[in-house]
Amino acid sequence: MKFSLGKWLLPVYVIVAFTFLMIPIVYTFIFSFNDSLKSNITWRGFTLDKWLNVCEVQNGAVCRAFGNSIIIGTVATVAATVMGTMIAIAIVRYRFKFRSATSLLLFLPMATPEVVLGAGLAAQFLSAGVPKDMLTIILAHTMFCISFVVVTVKARVASLDPALEEAGRDLYGSPNQVFARITFPLLLPGILAAALLCFALSFDDFIITNFNSGSVTTLPKYIYISASRGIPAEANVIASAVFIIALVIVVTAQVSKAARAKRLATVG
């Protein structure tokens, strides 16, 4: 074991490390309560104003950006999850030619720097004469999500015992029934995880969006643009709200999973 010097060295380090990781989050959260004017750099006083009137600042620019991010995230997630799940099933369950090429094609978007992805798409839209707006952003986000969906769902498909589907067929299930009642329900946790990942990636994406958005503003883009002028505290509000919701969802999922595992462990 690495730190045999003291049993406590590692746990202490972990606590310090997590504290360090959390600092920006806490800072952002605190400053969402700042009674700021234009820029949110110096603390002027505590107020709940920004939380209560999130959408008023700058004619609701922040909320509009937030809304755009949600729409884009949802559409891209649905598209990427559907296509990615289909690919994952094909890769695990079926034989086909060009397997290596397919793996490579799916891997490369994850390995390509966002600048390159963004610039490339922008260059293509430019030469194709496609104006940059919501559509181009959605197309871009769907693209980089697919690979992540494939990776996530593939793990789940691979862990699915084929005997279960065979049992379904043996028990008079037609192929559609077997898929609907056995395969899909068992894949669902993986698909949901992939969808969540995709949404998170899309929601927080800046670089690719910046290259392909034209005049449409997403939340990250809004923040970037305001960075030099001064970011309104409302951005902190929304970011903090998203953080809290996401945290609650994930923690609840983990806790309920643990509770359910505990319950199922009691053998009849």
Partner 1 sequence: MSGDTGAFAEQGADLELVGISKRFPGFTAIEHLDLTIPAGSFFALLGPSGCGKTTTLRLVAGLEEPTTGRILIGGKDVTNLKPYQRPVNTVFQSYALFPHMTVLENVAFGLRRRKLPDPVGKAHEALRLVELDHLAARRPQQLSGGQQQRVALARALVNRPALLLLDEPLGALDLKLRRQMQLELKTIQEEVGLTFLHVTHDQEEAMTMADTIAVMNKGRIEQMGAPEQLYELPKTAFVANFLGQSNLFTGTVVGTTSAAISVDVAGQSVVVPVARSHRHAGDVTVGVRPEKLSLHSEAPVAGAGRNVIGPARVIDVSFSGVSTQYLIAHPALGTIVVFAQNMAFGPVAHVGEEVWVSWDVEHGFGLEDDPGDSPRFAPDTDTKSIAAQRHAALVTELGEA
Partner 2 sequence: MAFAAFATTTGPGEEIARRRSPIALLLLLPGILYLILFFLTPLISLVLTSLQAPSETGLPGVYDQAFQWQNYVIVISDYWPHIVRSFGYALIATVLALAFSYPLAYFIGVKARQWPLLQSLLLVLVIAPFFISFLLRTLAWKQLLSDESFVITSLKALSLMAPDAHFTGTPAAVIFGLTYNFIPFMTLPLYTTLERLDLRYLEAGNDLYASPLQVFRKVTIPLSMPGIVAGTLLTFIPAAGDYINASRAFLGGSDTQMIGNVIEANFLILQNYPAAAALSIILMSVILVIVTVYIRRSGTEELL
Q: Which partner from the list partner 1, partner 2, none does 233 bind, CB cut-off 5 to 8 Å by kind?
A: none
In the range 119-178, which residues lie near partner 1 by CB under 8 A? 161, 163-164, 166-174, 177
Q: Which partner from the list partner 1, partner 2, none does 267 bind, CB cut-off 5 to 8 Å by kind?
A: partner 1
Nearest to 206 by CA among 234, 231, 230, 225: 225
Among positions 57, 61, 78, 155, the unique one binding partner 2 when judged by CB under 8 A: 155
Does 1 help bind partner 2 (rule: CB under 8 A)? yes
Q: Which residues, in sequence order, are bridge partners of residue 46?
A: 34
Rounded CA-CA distance 83/87 in Å is 6
Q: Which partner from the list partner 1, partner 2, none does 256 bind, CB cut-off 5 to 8 Å by kind?
A: none
Please say whether the dihedral angle defined by the alpha carbons of residues 10, 11, 17 and 18, taken in this order, is positive or negative. positive
Helix or strand or coil: residue 268?
Answer: coil
Place of tokens 């496609």: 130
State the number of CA atoms in the 13 A half-sphere of 150 facing the CB: 23
Rounded CA-CA distance 18/250 in Å is 18
Does 258 help bind partner 1 (rule: CB under 8 A)? no
Determine the interface stretch with partner 2 among 47-55, 70-78, 123-131, 180-188 (rule: CB under 8 A): 123-131
Among positions 78, 119, 130, 134, the unique one binding partner 2 when judged by CB under 8 A: 119
Among positions 42, 59, 127, 266, the unique one binding partner 1 when judged by CB under 8 A: 266
Q: Which partner from the list partner 2, partner 1, none does 48 bind, CB cut-off 5 to 8 Å by kind?
A: none
Rounded CA-CA distance 43/35 in Å is 7
Does 108 help bind partner 2 (rule: CB under 8 A)? yes
Does 114 help bind partner 2 (rule: CB under 8 A)? yes
